Structure 1
Amino acid sequence: MAVAADQRKKILKVLMTSLLLDLISFTFILPLFPSLLTFYRNQDPSPTSLLNRVFHYLNAYKNAFAKPIDSRYDIVLLGGALGSLFSFLQALAAPFIGRLSDKFGRRSALLCSMAGNTLSVALWVAATDFRTFLASRIIGGLSEGNVQLANAIATDISDASQRGSTMALVGACFSIAFTCGPALGAALSNITTVAANPFATAAGVSLLLILVETLYLYLCLPETHPRLTKLGQVTSQSNTTNTTTRATGNSTPRKHTNNPAVLNLLHFLFLLPFSGMEFSLPFLTATFYAGHNASPSALNGRLLSMMGLIASLLQGTVVRRLPPLTTVRAGVVACTISFFLLARVSSLPELYAAGGLLAVTSATVVTGLNSLGSFEAQEAERGAVLGRLRSWGQVGRATGPLLFCSLFWWVGREIAYTTGGFFMLAVCVGVFTSLESPPIAPATEKKDI
């Protein structure tokens, strides 16, 4: 289905604006995990409290390592565990949300997702104890479907020639939000409005953004599912042929350029080491600069900000103009080099060089895989196919930090990153040998991104 240019432009504006609001709200909490967990631990120091029982199991995990882990990392490790829980819940929910959007429409599924997001952030506003905070994260993990539904909507309104550039815009929203959202969240956490919850200001602004986003989507986003939409369409000869074929029942089994199962597996295998590496960066900067005057937290913040800025610039300029397979290949190669570089980094320029390569990876691989996946999804199953693709990726995000950081503390930085580099090298082989560029028909009209 090709949507008329003016309608496509309007839907893209609504989609990108709402996604930015959602992701900025989502990233508020990321830099606050250490302070949040310290606050809840001080609120209830009893050994039988839920949080201290969690720390008991965390210490048992730490004691399994030959190399002791300093207690100052307890909060960081627990924050990572909560992040893994969130990703695991998203892996469970993503296929269901995708099927829901195929059956009832993208708009309905997205509004249902927003209802869950609203409840999640509202619980954070009211979270004066760890149980309530944990409940907010669980509900958020199970209901967060904005990103996968944004990909489905972007696919609905884009023909083959527009697909990669539209997916890059979705990726650019990620990079922009992760560049400015954490800084805004950290600034708002310094404003105390409720004594019982010093993070209520950041949580309240996050809730406000979610409510504005929900109202905006309700008023401005039309349904885009091809089976349910009333959007004006630009019908090409190939579309007419496909419609006739379906009507007469003379359809042939669909042949995939890239089998969705292969894309799912590569998504998982890529994010497994990549997410572990992302989570290990604070440990790397802390151990690398132990005994120096430089602040590891400040260094890590500057590094992540640089990576976010580079990624957003790449997605807004280069990535949207390249074929999806080219972006995936460039990203996995950059990631492989960065792993080997991080294994031997001994100076700030080398660290920033590795960060620049990781920014290239952040800007390309997931965006490209989503684009390739969208080519393999027929209209009736688009939400489900993209949901499964996201689910496999979230499994990688959930398990990667646990596995990689275990390796980091068992055998040390050099062996851990070198092992990650060889693992990513295997992913490179899979990408270069098993994936092909999908055939892209000429656009039915001039592209209007």
Structure 2
Amino acid sequence: MYLAVFVDMLGFGVILPLLPFHTERLGGSGVWLGGVLTAYALAQFVAAPVLGALSDRYGRRPLLLVSLAGSAVSLALTGVAGSLPALLAARVVAGLCGGAIAVGQAYAIDLAEPGERTRALGMVGAAIGMGFVFGPAIGAALAGLGFAGVSFVAGGIALANLIAGVVLLPREVRPDAKPAQPPRRRSANALATLVQAVRLRALRPLLGAVFAATFAFAGMEATYALLGARQHGLGPSGLGLVFTGVGVVMAVVQGGVVGRVTDRFGNRRVAVTGAVLLGLGLVTLPYGPAWLSYTALAVLATGQGLLAPTTAALIAQAGGGALGGVLGIGQSASAAARAVGPIAAGAAFDAGPATPYLLGAALCGVAAVLMLQHNRGAEVRPDAEPAEQAA
């Protein structure tokens, strides 16, 4: 399952280095590029709770396979897109399939021992992170094929991933495991799931924390190229190495560290620590020499690596039986932040290069406070009915 997620993100990441240039060749302005990038996040915002709720009803494996098939289709459509509207539509299809990250998270929880669920979520995060590390590097190496050629290669990778998924993905949870959700059928209505989730007192601060922290991190991703070029003379290759390093740190933390520290300190404490580290990295980033900037990037990558799987684990615990739907709501909160965060950060950067990072650090403080409100008394037993948890 982790391999399926990794290869899916790998195929998606392959086209990213060429996407801005292809948009420009089609006559797109900066607004169009922003629209193409934002369309993915907005589509993911809509699709995540739908796919999660459908996986609660029909099972994780079928929904994950449908998503893998959709990824292959979206990449093929991206390759043949000869106009800006066609390219935008292809990215919408990709975002709709990208909403299945919540399905992968729920799948990992279903297959994990109860005490290993945060570790399993960390492995999902590591698979996603490494896909984004290696994908753009492969895309850059294949740039000579042209945008269409690279897109078709990525589509071929996605198709191979689908075939491997049909053969290799487990058909059911461990026979000795108690299902993470009751077996009866649940509503797949995304709006009903959203309303139900927001009514959970234990979930509200977590969704706010996810939005705030993701907003901060997405703002850094959107503006660091400008900051690095101004302060340290970084060009495209240097920036590529920097972001590769950030991705590797996050993957190592999620894949090998987070499970160990949560075993000792618990999800909530580790999540708060992650928010604090992310904030410290952001507030330090725009100041000082290059070595301090790179150290700050390592610190904030560590914080994000700790934060993502632990907040997902807390959301899964707070959501009770509707595991896929609730994790989908968490992905929607993250997607919403990724849709608006880069735009807001860009405007803040125009006001002053340090402004988006100071704003992000403040939002990390908000995220930490929100997670501190999610105390043990507010957490619910994993098998509780959503109606029992409503405010």
* TM-aligned CA deviation for residue 170 of structure 1: 0.7
* CA shift in 2, pair 1:412/1:431, >3 Å: same
C-alpha distance in 2 between matches for 1:370 and 1:258? 16
Q: Which residue among 146, 149, 159 is the counterpart of 2:100?
A: 146
CA offsets per residue over residues 387-414 of structure 1, 9 Å max, x none? 11111111111111111211111x2112
The reply on whether 1:201 has 2:149 as its aligned counterpart is yes
Corresponding residue of 1:60: none
Matched residue type, 1:259: A
C-alpha distance in 2 between matches for 1:212 and 1:232? 29
CA offsets per residue over residues 20-40 of structure 1, 9 Å max, x none? 110100111222223212322
The reply on whether 1:355 has 2:341 as its aligned counterpart is no
The reply on whether 1:212 has 2:160 as its aligned counterpart is yes
Corresponding residue of 2:317: 375
C-alpha distance in 2 between matches for 1:422 and 1:267? 14
Question: CA RMSD of the aligned region, Å?
Answer: 2.6
Matched residue type, 2:303: T
Given that residues 212 and 366 in structure 2 are in contact (C-alpha distance below 8 angstroms), is that contact kept between their aligned partners in structure 1?
A: no
C-alpha distance in 2 between matches for 1:370 and 1:235? 20
C-alpha distance in 2 between matches for 1:136 and 1:168? 29
Corresponding residue of 2:204: 261
Corresponding residue of 1:247: none
C-alpha distance in 2 between matches for 1:126 and 1:80? 20
* TM-aligned CA deviation for residue 384 of structure 1: 0.8
TM-score, structure 2 normalization:
0.85
What runs of 5+ residues in structure 1 fail to find an aligned partner? 1-14, 42-50, 56-73, 193-197, 244-255, 442-449
Matched residue type, 2:41: S
Pairing 1:38-437 to 2, within 5 Å after superposition: 38-41=24-27, 51=28, 55=29, 74=30, 78-190=32-144, 192=145, 198-224=146-172, 231-234=174-177, 259-289=202-232, 294-323=233-262, 324-343=267-286, 345-379=287-321, 381-409=322-350, 411-436=351-376
Given that residues 340 and 418 in structure 1 are in contact (C-alpha distance below 8 angstroms), is that contact kept between their aligned partners in structure 2?
A: yes
For the pair shown, the structure with the greater C-alpha radius of gyration is: 1
Matched residue type, 2:285: L
Corresponding residue of 2:186: none
* CA shift in 2, pair 1:257/1:162, >3 Å: farther
C-alpha distance in 1 between matches for 2:100 and 2:355? 37
* TM-aligned CA deviation for residue 427 of structure 1: 2.0
* TM-aligned CA deviation for residue 145 of structure 1: 3.2
CA offsets per residue over residues 219-266 of structure 1, 9 Å max, x none? 222344xxxx6x522569xx9xx99xxxxxxxxxxxx99712222121
* TM-aligned CA deviation for residue 428 of structure 1: 1.9
Corresponding residue of 2:12: 26
Matched residue type, 1:376: A
CA offsets per residue over residues 269-306 of structure 1, 9 Å max, x none? 221222112111112122324xxxx4432221121111
Q: What is the SS of the residue equivalent to 1:161?
A: helix
Q: Kindly tell me the number of residue pairs found equivalent between the two proteins.
A: 361
C-alpha distance in 2 between matches for 1:108 and 1:234? 20
Q: What is the SS of the residue equivalent to 1:96?
A: helix
* TM-aligned CA deviation for residue 184 of structure 1: 0.5
Given that residues 123 and 254 in structure 2 are in contact (C-alpha distance below 8 angstroms), is that contact kept between their aligned partners in structure 1?
A: yes
CA offsets per residue over residues 350-381 of structure 1, 9 Å max, x none? 110111012102311111111111222334x1
Given that residues 216 and 359 in structure 2 are in contact (C-alpha distance below 8 angstroms), is that contact kept between their aligned partners in structure 1?
A: no
Given that residues 206 and 370 in structure 2 are in contact (C-alpha distance below 8 angstroms), is that contact kept between their aligned partners in structure 1?
A: no
What runs of 5+ residues in structure 2 fail to find an aligned partner? 184-198, 383-391
* CA shift in 2, pair 1:429/1:378, >3 Å: closer
* CA shift in 2, pair 1:341/1:128, >3 Å: same
* Percent pairwise identity: 25
Q: What is the SS of the residue equivalent to 2:248?
A: helix
* TM-aligned CA deviation for residue 440 of structure 1: 9.9
* TM-aligned CA deviation for residue 439 of structure 1: 9.0
* CA shift in 2, pair 1:111/1:126, >3 Å: same
Given that residues 258 and 372 in structure 1 are in contact (C-alpha distance below 8 angstroms), is that contact kept between their aligned partners in structure 2?
A: no
* CA shift in 2, pair 1:154/1:258, >3 Å: farther
* TM-aligned CA deviation for residue 432 of structure 1: 2.7
Given that residues 160 and 440 in structure 1 are in contact (C-alpha distance below 8 angstroms), is that contact kept between their aligned partners in structure 2?
A: no
C-alpha distance in 1 between matches for 2:49 and 2:332? 7
Matched residue type, 1:304: F
Q: Relative to structure 2, which stretch is displaced further, 180-189 or 419-428?
A: 419-428
* CA shift in 2, pair 1:145/1:322, >3 Å: same
C-alpha distance in 1 between matches for 2:359 and 2:20? 29
Q: What is the SS of the residue equivalent to 1:30?
A: coil
